């Protein structure tokens, strides 16, 4: 698809990704050579390594949190930046090299068909290895989303997404936007407002280096926080 008169921002949250961020940005800039409607923002979430310096060396936008406040908080900082600069959409992707930049084209093909486009590793022809407990967690999230929305989402925990301005404003100003895990309840919030959601196949790779900014939390905590967030959404809408 050809994007006309639209400008987009690729938002990349990063926490201590000095070993990965350079390679991610190199690959992105290589494929963006002919896509001058896309720019890049790295939100450095309080890293204490060289993440910021490496990101800045590529001549892109970089915003810093003074301390580590969470993946979701870093995303919302990027959303607010995009709204203030009047971008028409954002694409969010991880800073650890797991997301294949070439898959951005799949999002753009659905630009006119949805407000939130989710990238699914499970719709790709390339196998993504996943351990039993994570597979179990994703299965549980699928069921939860199906109960809440009656939608079949194959990859509800994906961090590779396109969000159009219509839904972006909602998330940027959301007082209850999760600071840690913004996946399932964001799908729910967007669905509750009547926005259209679609999935596209994307290629993802196992993390090669370092520790993910998605810190390991217990399943009990995750579901409890998710329930509270969804409850807050209900209360806010009344």
Predicted pLDDT at 216? 46
**The pLDDT of residue 219:** 55
What is the predicted pLDDT for the residue at 229?
Answer: 66
Per-residue HEC secondary structure of 199-230 comes to: EEECCECCCCCCCCCCCCCCHHHHHHHHHHHH
Residue 215: the pLDDT is 44
Low-confidence ranges of the chain (pLDDT < 70): 1-4, 34, 207-238
Domain map (residue ranges) of the chain? 8-237
**Could you tell me how far CA 62 lies from the centroid of its own chain?**
17
Please name the CATH architecture into which domain 8-237 falls: Alpha-Beta Complex (3.90)
């Amino acid at each position: 698809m050809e994007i006309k008169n639209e400008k987009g921002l690729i938002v990349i949250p990063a926490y201590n990704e000095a070993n990965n961020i350079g390679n991610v940005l190199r690959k992105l800039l290589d494929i963006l050579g002919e896509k001058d409607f896309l720019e890049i923002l790295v939100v450095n979430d309080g890293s204490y390594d060289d993440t910021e310096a490496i990101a800045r060396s590529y001549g892109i936008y970089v915003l810093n949190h003074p301390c580590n406040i969470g993946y979701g908080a870093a995303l919302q900082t990027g959303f607010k930046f995009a709204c203030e600069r009047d971008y028409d959409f954002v694409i969010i992707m991880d800073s650890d090299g797991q997301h294949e930049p070439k898959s951005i084209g799949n999002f753009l093909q659905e630009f006119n068909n949805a407000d939130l486009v989710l990238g699914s590793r499970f719709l790709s022809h390339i196998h993504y290895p996943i351990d039993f407990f994570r597979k179990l967690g994703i299965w549980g999230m699928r069921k939860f989303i199906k109960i809440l929305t009656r939608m079949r989402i194959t990859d509800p925990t994906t961090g590779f997404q396109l969000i159009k301005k219509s839904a972006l404003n909602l998330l940027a100003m959301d007082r209850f936007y999760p600071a840690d895990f913004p996946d399932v309840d964001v799908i729910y919030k967007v669905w509750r407002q009547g926005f259209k959601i679609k999935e596209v196949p994307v290629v993802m790779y196992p993390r090669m280096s370092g520790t993910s900014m998605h810190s390991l939390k217990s399943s009990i905590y995750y579901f409890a926080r998710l329930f509270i967030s969804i409850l807050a959404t209900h209360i806010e809408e009344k």
